[in-house]
Structure formats: C-alpha cells, structure tokens
Structure 1
Amino acid sequence: MAGEEGKIDPMHQFEIQPIFDGGFEIAGQTINFTNSALWMILTFITLWIFMLGGMKREIIPGRWQVMVESMSNFVTNMLTSNVGEAGRKYVPYVFSLFMFILFANILGMLPIGVIGLHPFTVTSHIAITGILAVLSFSIVLIVGFWKHGLHFFSLFVPHGTPLPMVPFIAVIEFISFMIRPFSLGLRLFVAMTAGHVLLKVLGGFVINSTNAGAGYGALVGIPSFMLMVGISALELLVAVIQAYVFALLTSLYINDAENLH
C-alpha cells in the first residue's frame, strides 16, 4: 500500500529501492545494492541449487535428476530442430537464458507478501529484459559475420526476390532485423508487468471492499479474490510460456546467423 491510506498503487511493486543505506560512487553515480539485485542473486542461488541437486549422474535417476535432464533435453531438442546439429554448441547459453527467465518469473510470483516480504520480478523491468535481448542479438551478429563475413548481408534479400524489388525488400528486412532486440525484450517485459499490475489492482479491490464492510466484501471482495486465484494460475502459465518464447526466438535468430535462412 502506497500513498494515501486505502489507496493501492499498482506500480509501487516495480520501484527499485536500495536495500541498505549508503553505497559507493563511480564516475559521479551512486551505486546501491537494490531489491532488483537481491532478487537476481536469489534467482541465481535457486537455479544453482536446482541444477546441483539434479546433476548426481545416478544410474537410476531420481525425480530431481529427471527434471534437470528433461529441461536440458528440451532446450537441446529445440535448438537442433530449429538450427540443426550446429545448434548444440549454443545449448549452454540458451539453456541458461531459459532457466534464468523461468526462475525469475516464478520467484516474482511467490505469495510471501502475507508474511510482510515483497517479491520483486526482475523480468518486469525493461532494463533487464532489454539486456538479455541485446545479448542474444549480439551473439547473432557475431556468429553471422564470423561465419559468413559480408555475405551475412544476403539475409536481407530473400532468395527469389525480383531484382527491381531488391532495394525495397532489403530495407524492410533490415528494419525488421534491427527491431528484433526491442520486440524480444519488450514482449517479456510487457507480459510480466501487465499480469502483476492486474493482480495488484484486484488485491486492492479485496482489501478496500473488506475494509468498507461485510456487504462490500461479499459483493466485491470475494469475486475479486476468486478472480485473483484464476489469474495467478494463468500468470504461472505465462511465466513458463514467456521463458519458452524468449528461448525459442533466440534459437530462430541463431538459425538465421548459422544458416542464413
């Protein structure tokens, strides 16, 4: 709850705030340890524990090992089906990308607000999703020019394009190519932000209607709470789908760099 009493600010949950007072300065800029940094570290620790527990290499794998191997095989199959055998060398990067986004999305939905803590979804900030998108796009550019040289520019002229149309098609394809990192980062950012805003608004309905009286609580609060439960389940699905979409599009972009399709 932020601002006036009884007023719910749905955007307050996205504010980046320092955890500790003080900090240090670099080039005139104050550097603080923030809630965003804290939840990225928690995401890394949780992911590390998940991977560590599933890498025992037992002859008869347990459930944990099966989960980790299933995730790894899922990403491997996605890359080989979209890129070919050359895609196997990108498995460590795409797997790390997929798992980080997945865990960050899910951790940001933990219902720990009931004990006074406030989860923070790092993928609801364009600065984070944008960096991930630029990193993937940079790999595509490096691989494309390293493997194909200037022939990489043929990507902007689809095979069979009539000669008079080449200048127009090349410009359109180039613009479409350059927009990729923006759309990649924006898609994840918007999906996670919209869901959390909606949950916060519905939570405000529940709290304020209950405070207003039993009648309002029954009329507004109960339906809002039931809707929150359904949307929370949907948000878990969105968290998984968005991690998959980000990894899938990265695989498709890598395919362009590898095979110039």
Structure 2
Amino acid sequence: MATEKEGGLVFHPLDQFIVKPLFGDGAVHWYTITNVTLWLALAVVAIVALFVIGTRGRAIVPSRTQSIGEVLYGFTYKMVEDVAGKDAVKFFPYIFTLFMFILFSNFLGLIPMSFATTSHIAVTGVLAAAVFLTVTILGFVKNGTKFLSLFWVSSAPLALRPVLAIIELISYFVRPVSHSIRLGGNIMAGHAVMKVFAGFAAIAAISPIAVVSITAIYGLEVLVAAVQAYVFTILTVVYLKDALHPAH
C-alpha cells in the first residue's frame, strides 16, 4: 500500500501480512477466525476440488484436471522413491499432502487481494516442526540408538569425530528453523517487492516501468511458488531418508 504524505509517497509493503479477524475488529486470539484461516481453508478446498471432484470420472483418457492431478501425483511419488528408497513409499501420503498444501497455498497467495499464508513463520514453522518431530521419532523407532550414527562421521579421522558430531547435532536441530524460514522468507520477500513496485505505479512518470517490473516480478513469483514448494518437500524427503538410513 502507498499513501501520499507531505507531497511524497509512503510505502507500507508489509501491511499485506497483517493477521486480521475475518469478522469485525478487535484482538486476535487462538480461536479467532482470521484472514489466515480463510486462505488456509481455501487451499484445502482447492486440493479437494482437484483430486476428489476433478478426478472422480477416472477416465482412461484423462481430462485436463485429471491429467494435472496425475502429473503431480507421479512427480511426488517418483521423488520419494528416488531420493529415500522404496521403503519410504509408505510415507508418500504425508509427503504428497505436504507438497500439495504448500503448492496451493503459495499459488493462492498470488491472487490479487489474497493472503499469502506461507509468508508467515507461524504457518511454515508448524509444518517444519511436524516434519522434524516425525522424522526424529521415526528414526529412533526404526533404528533405536543406531539412529545416533547419523551424527557420528565414521569416515573422518578419529580425533575429528567428536567435533564433527557436535556440528552435526547442531545442524540437525537447526533444520526446522532453516526449513521454515527458507519458505516463509522467500514468499514474504517476493510479495513485499511486488507491493513496493505497485506503489511506484502511482507515480505517473515511472508508472510504465513500474507496471512492466510488476509483471516480470509476478512471473518470477509464480516460479518461486512452485520451486519453494518443491524445495520444502524434497528436503523433507531427504530428512526422511536420514531417518530410515542414518548411517554416515
């Protein structure tokens, strides 16, 4: 948003990330239905529409909607199988749900006047924490204390192994932080930049340049929305691989 003040323009590119009650005004509590709630729910509805309604015919010659669903399904399945192995396929439903949710949330956030839910660390942090807890618990359940071999670099010289173990342990616990900030930060940055250029479009002298810039950035953000969903998902699969096969 850009407002005129004392003959100039004042930009508020971060106003678009403010969480507000969907009905009325007032404080936001844990039970308050907000704009975040609405767009998270719309992401779920969009996924259901694609995979339940769009593919209900299950035609031999698929429709466009069914083709999109099949491509996304096959792409994610192959990712899980290729990166983490065939024994990881049992976790495919969780990985696929995660990928679809982030992908649709990212794309819905690009609709004008929408809300980019994945720009909030509160959202991406919960997703990253769920992945971290899942793979950690799975690692210990499947491997027992052998899971700790993930932090012991047996190929390194013996004197360096304790130091490397500390580094590996720290990097392991940093995973949910980097996992969530990478997604949230990229989405927030792109939307903020678009908002700034939208403010410049109010200045007649540079509005043509601003409009062209917004168009280019929007196209880049479409790519970023897909890439960041992929990056979050493939990192999840890599972490899953570490839980299933922890030996260095």
Query: Is the pair's TM-score, using the shorter chain for normalization, greater than 0.5?
Result: yes
* Structure 2, gaps ≥5 residues long: none
Whether 2:111 is the aligned partner of 1:100: answer no
Whole-angstrom CA distance in 2 between matches of 1:32 and 1:72: 34
Residue in structure 2 matched with residue 39 of structure 1 by the alignment: 39
Which residue of 235, 239, 244 corresponds with 1:253?
Answer: 239
In the aligned structure 2, how far is the partner of 1:62 from the partner of 1:221? 41
Shift of 1:8: 2.9
Aligned partners of 1:108 and 1:120 also within 8 Å = yes
Moved more, 42-51 or 53-62: 53-62
CA contact (8 A) 1:23 1:33 kept: no
- The answer for unaligned runs of 5 or more in structure 1 is 112-117, 211-215
CA deviation vs aligned residue, 1:220-243 (integer Å, no higher than 9, x gap):
111011011011000000000000
Q: Give the 5 Å matches for 1:217-228.
A: 220-228=206-214
Specify the alignment match of 1:115 in structure 2: none
1:3 and 1:132 map into 2 onto residues whose CA distance is 36
User: Could you list the per-position Cα deviations for residues 161-215 of structure 1 after superposition, in whole angstroms to 9, with x for gaps in the alignment?
Assistant: 22222210100100111111100000001100000000000000002x03xxxxx
- The answer as to 2:209 corresponding to 1:231 is no
Q: 1:132 is matched with which residue: 124, 127, 132?
A: 127
Alignment-mate amino acid for residue 248 of structure 1: I
Identity of aligned residues (%): 40
SS at match of 1:7: strand
Size of the alignment, in residue pairs?
243
Match of 1:12 in 2: 15
User: For 1:117-172, what per-residue CA distance to the aligned partner results, in whole angstroms no more than 9, with x for missing partners?
Assistant: x2100000001001000111111111100001111111001232222222101001
**8 Å Cα contact 1:94-1:251 kept in structure 2:** yes
| Normalised TM-score (structure 1) | 0.88
Q: Which residue in 1 is equivalent to 2:178?
A: 183
Aligned residues: CA RMSD: 1.8
Residue 46 of structure 1, CA deviation: 1.0
State the AA in 2 paired with 1:242: Q
Distance in 1, matches of 2:27 and 2:116, equals 25
Contact 2:2/2:199 (8 A) holds in 1: no
TM-score by length of 2: 0.93
Q: Deviations over 1:21-79 (max 9, x none)?
A: 37999xxx563110000110111111110111124322222222121111111111001
For residues 99 and 57 of structure 2, what CA distance do their matches in structure 1 show? 22
